């Protein structure tokens, strides 16, 4: 368990003890929920810093990223986002999940994070979620969306995990059901946001397919890792997408979790529609 995870657990235990002391009557539903979240906090990935340590400078960087991206999104009336990168391991899932939490910190917002990386799903790991079914089962028509949505620590943030491994992710993602799912989320109106985590652009067609369905694409680039010609190649493959911004991840080059520095840049109009 992370240090932050155990600190959160201590706080929860302290709160429970205080309730016992002052003799407040217990609500079984609330207790169940609190137990669920306290177990989840232990399991949360340390990278989910916006939830585990919202006052940290890193979380502040995410808030600043959100402000810039949302400003751009509001101007262009965009509420559905794809988070992708050119190659693996650049920080897509970390960015998607922290951005989701940051958006959901506004109680007037509701947020859905979809794990669109059916090949190596990991959104569930970020939130400490144990699940079996998700997007794959939805796209196959085997389950309703509502039955697959997993609640998180925040009342207004839900996760749709990837689902059981399957042999044809690109085919499923290219189906009209996927396009309709995104359209339905879009139709939920002002204050509702959809964030889709995805595999890298170069290795599969999955992100390219999804980039045509969403309002905007956020490209994550790991500083000093991805060669510029690879980034340019990746961007050229997204030529039909609206690139909203580029997140330059880990520009400090220092590994520990609390050393992230994020940056963003706009002006990729030549790659946009
Ligand atoms: N800024 C950062 N500083 C240090 N470590 C980071 C940073 N961002 C992400 N990581 C770590 O790098 C690894 C990859 O991050 P993440 O899973 O978010 O990338 P990804 O692009 O989603 O990877 P994949 O392509 O495999 O899905 C993880 O172990 C994560 O903890
Ligand atoms: Mg990932």
Winning range, highest mean pLDDT, from 12-26, 221-235, 259-273? 221-235
| pLDDT for residue 124 | 95
User: CA 206, CA 200: separation in Å to the nearest integer?
Assistant: 8
| pLDDT for residue 2 | 46
Expressed as residue numbers, the domain containing 175 is 49-271
* Alpha-helical runs (H) found in the chain: 3-22, 28-43, 49-52, 57-75, 92-104, 123-127, 135-139, 145-148, 169-173, 176-186, 206-211, 228-237
CA of 162 to the centre of ligand 2 (A): 11
Same domain, 110 and 226: yes
Number of structural domains (the chain) is: 2
Q: Examine the pLDDT at 204 and tell me if it is beyond 90.
A: yes
The predicted-structure confidence for 142-168, as pLDDT tens digits, reads as follows 999 999 999 998 999 999 999 999 999
The predicted-structure confidence for 37-89, as pLDDT tens digits, reads as follows 555 556 778 889 999 889 988 899 899 889 988 888 888 899 999 999 999 99
Choice between 250 and 236, residue whose per-residue pLDDT is larger:
236
Residue (of 258, 117, 273) closest to 195 by Cα position = 117
Average model confidence (pLDDT) across the chain: 82
| pLDDT for residue 252 | 60
Same domain, 231 and 206: yes
In this structure, which ligand is nearest to the CA of 47? 1
User: Which CATH number does the domain housing residue 255 bear?
Assistant: 3.40.50.300
User: CA 26, CA 28: separation in Å to the nearest integer?
Assistant: 6
Same domain, 67 and 124: yes
Same domain, 67 and 96: yes
| pLDDT for residue 68 | 84
CA-proximal residue: ligand 1, atom 15 (nearest): 91
Same domain, 4 and 77: no
Same domain, 129 and 260: yes
Does ligand 1 have an atom closer than 6 angstroms to the CB of 262?
Answer: no
Query: Can you name the residues that pair with 193 across neighbouring β-strands?
Result: 111
DSSP state of 212: T
Please state the pTM of the whole predicted model. Answer: 0.83
Does ligand 1 have an atom closer than 6 angstroms to the CB of 91?
Answer: yes
Choice between 263 and 224, residue whose per-residue pLDDT is larger:
224
Q: Identify the weakest region by mean pLDDT among 26-30, 41-45, 232-236.
A: 26-30
In this structure, which ligand is nearest to the CA of 84? 1
Same domain, 89 and 174: yes
CA of 22 to the centre of ligand 2 (A): 45
Other CB atoms closer than 10 Å to residue 92's CB: what's the count? 28
| pLDDT for residue 140 | 97
Does ligand 1 have an atom closer than 6 angstroms to the CB of 88?
Answer: yes
Same domain, 119 and 247: yes
| pLDDT for residue 41 | 54
Tell me how far apart the 2 most distant CA atoms of the chain are, in Å.
65
State the pLDDT confidence band at 267, using cuts at 50, 70 and 90.
very low
């Amino acid at each position: 368990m992370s240090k932050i995870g155990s600190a959160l657990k201590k706080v929860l235990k302290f709160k429970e003890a205080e309730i016992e002391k002052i003799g407040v009557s217990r609500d079984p539903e609330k207790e169940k929920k609190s137990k669920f979240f306290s177990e989840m906090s232990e399991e949360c990935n340390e990278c989910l810093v916006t939830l585990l340590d919202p006052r940290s400078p890193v979380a502040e960087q995410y808030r600043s990223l959100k402000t810039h991206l949302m400003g751009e999104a509001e101007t262009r009336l965009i509420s559905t986002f794809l988070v992708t990168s050119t190659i693996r391991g650049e920080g897509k899932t970390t960015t998607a999940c922290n951005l989701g939490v940051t958006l959901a910190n506004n109680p007037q917002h509701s947020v859905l994070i979809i794990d669109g990386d059916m090949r190596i799903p990991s959104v569930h790991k970020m939130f400490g979620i144990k699940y079996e079914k998700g997007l794959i089962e939805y796209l196959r028509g085997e389950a309703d969306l509502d039955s697959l949505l997993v609640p998180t620590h925040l009342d207004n943030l839900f996760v749709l995990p990837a689902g059981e491994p399957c042999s044809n992710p690109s085919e499923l993602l290219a189906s009209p059901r996927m396009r309709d799912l995104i359209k339905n989320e879009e139709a939920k109106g002002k204050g509702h946001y959809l964030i889709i985590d995805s595999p890298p652009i170069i290795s599969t067609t999955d992100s390219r397919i999804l980039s045509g369905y969403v309002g905007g694409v956020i490209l994550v680039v790991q500083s000093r890792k991805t060669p510029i010609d690879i980034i340019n190649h990746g961007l050229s493959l997204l030529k039909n997408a609206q690139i909203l911004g580029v997140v330059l991840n880990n520009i400090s080059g220092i590994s520990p979790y609390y050393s992230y520095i994020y940056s963003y840049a706009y002006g990729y109009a030549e790659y946009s529609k």
